[in-house]
Structure formats: C-alpha cells, structure tokens
Homo-oligomer: A and B are copies of this chain.
Amino acid sequence: MRKIAILGIGQTKIDEHWDLSMREIGGNAAFAAMQDAGMEKVDSLFVGNMLSSTINGQSQLGTFFSDWIGLWGQEAVKVEAACASGAAALRSGLMAVASGDIDSALVVGVEKMTDKAGHDVTSALATAADADYELEQGISFVGLNALVMRRYMHEFGWNHEDFAPFSINAHANAMHNPFARLHQTIDVETFENSSTVSTPINLLDASPTGDGAAAVIIVPAEKIAAMNGRPRITVAGSASATDSIAVHSRKDPLFLSAAYQSSKKAFEMAGVTKDDIDVFELHDAFSIMAALSLEACGYAEKGKGVSLGLDNEILIDGRIPVCTRGGLKARGHPVGATGIYQIVEVAQQLRGECGETQVDGAKIGMAQNIGGSGATILTHILKAE
C-alpha cells in the first residue's frame, strides 16, 4: 500500500458542551487539523461517528460536515463501526488516498452525546451489541463487559483492586492533557470505593462519555519531505479484524481475537514487533479491556495482563506506556471520536509535544480502537521519520 503521512492533527476538549452543537464541535477539530497542516482545501472527508442518527437526529454526516467546513463539492462519507468508528474512518481514508484516486483526506471523529437523557444514550450505545441475541435478554453494554470482567477474575484469580493501576495511570496522565474530560487523580482507595455500575465494574473501571471531536489530515508520504521542522509521521501499519458480534458466540470470551489479528497484521505491515512500540494508546473503555488488549497484542500471557499494571510497566517510563494522554478512562470516550483522539495522541508523542507525559525518544506508536465488546478491532502503527 502507498505510504501515507499524517500532515495535520486537531482536537477539542472533551466535555459536556451545552453551548456547542455537533456541527461546531466537529468543525472545530477539523479546522484545527487544517490549520496544523497549513491546508485550506482537502480532497475528501471521512467522518467517524456512531450515534448521530439516534442521539442527534442527523444522518449523512459526511456531507453535513463538508458543508459546514466549506469543502463544497468534495467527496464526503460517514463510516461506522460502533466505538471503533474513528479508526474505521481513518482506515477508509487511508485506503482511499492509497488508491491514488484521492490526494488528501480529512478524517474527523466526532460525537455529541449529551443532547439526550442518560437512558437514551445507554440504549443507543447498546446498539453496538447484538440486538437479537444479547439486547433481547435485557442486558446493557456495560453489563456485557461486566460479565467478561467477572469471568476473568474467576478464571485467573484476580481481585477487583488489581485493576486499579490502569485507572490510576490514566487519571494521572490526563492531568497534563488540556483536552481531557477528567482532571483529578485517584488512588486505590477511591478506585475501590467508587459507585457500582454493573458488578464488578464500578465508576472508576468505566470511561466517561462526552462531547468531542478529533481530526487528522492524511496525504501520500512522498508529497511531503519535511513537515515544518517537525518529524514526518507516517502510517506504517493499518489493519482491521472482526470477531462474532455477540460475546457468547466466541470460543473464548476472554481472548480478543480481533485485537490479536489486527495487531499481528499491523506489526507485519510496519515491519516491527511488539517490542518496538514506544507508546500504546489502547482502548480502555473498561479496565478489563485494557488487560485483554495487552494480552492479545502479546505484552502479557493470557490472564496476566493485570500484572502489567501492578508491576508499573504501563507507566510513561515503563516497558509499554499506555493511555499517555489519559486514555478513554480520563481523556474521555466520545465513542465515534475516540479512535481519532488516539491517533492524534500517538502523533503528539512522536512529535515530542507531550510535556510531562512525553515518552522519551518515542519513534513508533500504536493505537488500538475497539468496537462492541471486541467485535471490530483496528490497529494502527505510526512512525516518526
């Protein structure tokens, strides 16, 4: 595949934006990326979004945003893969530019979740699960993840507090990210004492939703030699894989086979191994998913993902730093936007723009975005050149 570079990045603070519409939020991220890239015109627009039809009463988000941003006439489309919509939109944009039919693409991940009451959002999020065979039983999306976490604890003998380091690390890193939803440190005691959402998942195992958007501009790498003195960031690996949509259909509900497959393909494409990854923005929608993701990508044996947290290997100076800007847990999880936030954050690390949470000498970074309870998983690897 033709080599692609990330020329510009942009993001908005994740929050409850009562004074901003979805249009403005997505537009602000897009304009930031265009300004960062020094481009006023882009050939095409790919929008990653999950909930606009249900929550915002708006379909056709590609054209909705090309109109607002001023890309009149240009090709535009929405891509959806539940919470992996952001990375799925990036991958569609990458393949479009790689095809040679398009010279540049703006990829925007956007979600405006606070326009409806909480129970409406819970119902809309549940559409990521299997409507016929999971939701018909009355289970929510958090409930499905809770079943997986309980099984993991039972199977491998971990206690709830063993998951604390994932959330503590995410909250600590988010303190230095002005775009993060939450700015408060936590410890094991606050983690253990937070309210239950769906046993064993409590409030501090779960990522907060919110309104937010992030954007990147991609172009063929050969078109840019240097990038205003900054390192050139290329997409070295890109892969997507799927599993059954219902958790109960999986041979092993504790193994994220789509994470294994997509990371394997991305490693091969990039010509690297897991040990070459300097920073890993993983999809910690729930603390259990952080553990499963690390295991599937080869950083821990099955059932041992939790120990990476307990052994401080996930910290900024650890073996495999994760959630360096706060992760889903503290940066926030505006679902369809998350995959692009992860890409923006990896790019920031490779540019060396992360201040207090900068990973020293980061040259290769990975982002992994998960749709449903592991049903659609995309892995991207970026390199600084």
Binary CB contact string for chain A from 121 to 163 against chain B (1 if under 8 A, 0 otherwise): 0011011101110010000000000000000000000000000
In the docked arrangement, what's the CA distance between A239 and B74, Å? 10
A300 interface residue (CB < 8 Å to B): no
Chain B residues contacting A102 (CB-CB under 8 Å) are 95
Question: Taking the complex as formed, is A81 at the interface, i.e. its CB lies under 8 A from any CB of chain B?
Answer: yes
> Within 8 Å of chain B (Cβ to Cβ): is A256?
no
Q: Which of A94, A101, A124, A257: most chain B Cβ within 10 A?
A: A101
A364-380 vs B, Cβ < 8 Å mask (1 yes, 0 no): 00000001100110000
Q: Is the CB of A63 within 8 A of B245?
A: yes
Q: Find the B residue at minimum CB distance from A23.
A: B132
> Nearest CB to that of A372 among chain B residues?
B60
Residues from chain B with Cβ under 8 Å of A126 in the complex:
57
Q: Which residues of B contact A194 (CB under 8 A)?
A: none
Instruction: Name the contact of A241 in the complex, choosing from B73, B78, B101, B372 (C-beta under 8 A).
Output: B73
Chain B residue contacts of A238, Cβ below 8 A: 101
Is residue A195 within 8 Å, beta carbon to beta carbon, of the partner chain?
no
* CB nearest to A262 among chain B residues: B75
Q: How many copies does the complex hold?
A: 2
Q: A240 contacts the other chain (Cβ, under 8 Å)?
A: yes
**A273 adjacent to chain B (CB < 8 Å):** no
Chain B hits for A21, CB < 8 A = 132
Asked whether A261 is an interface residue with its Cβ less than 8 Å from the other chain, the reply is yes
Chain A, 65-93, contact with B by CB distance < 8 Å: what is the 0/1 string? Answer: 01100011111111111100000100110
Give the complex CA separation of A245 and B52 in angstroms: 15
On whether the beta carbons of A72 and B242 are closer than 8 Å, the reply is yes
Q: Which of A77, A91, A124, A246 has the most CB of B within 10 A?
A: A77
- B101–A62 touching, CB < 8 Å: no
B58 with A81: CB separation less than 8 A: no
Q: Report A210-239 CB contacts with B as 1/0, cut-off 8 Å.
A: 000000000000000000000000000011
A262-298 interface code vs B (CB 8 A; 1 in, 0 out): 0000000000000000000000000000000000000
Cα separation A135 to B242 with both chains bound (whole Å): 36
Q: Is the pair A242, B67 in contact by a Cβ cutoff of 8 Å?
A: yes
Q: Quick one: given A1-B100, A73-B242, A242-B63, are A80 and B81 in contact (CB under 8 Å)?
A: no
B127:A67 contact, CB within 8 angstroms = no
Residue of B at shortest CB range from A102?
B95
* A62 shortest CB reach to chain B, Å: 6
Contact of A95 among B101, B131, B132 (CB under 8 A): B101
A190 interface residue, CB < 8 Å from B? no
For residue A58, which residues in chain B have a CB less than 8 angstroms away from its CB? Answer: 127, 130-132
A294 to chain B, nearest CB (A): 20
Is A37 located at the chain interface by the 8 A CB criterion?
A: no
Chain B residues lying within 8 Å of A123, measured Cβ to Cβ, are: 57
Considering the complex of A and B, which 4 residue pairs feature the smallest CB-CB distances, nearest first? A98-B99, A59-B127, A60-B82, A95-B99
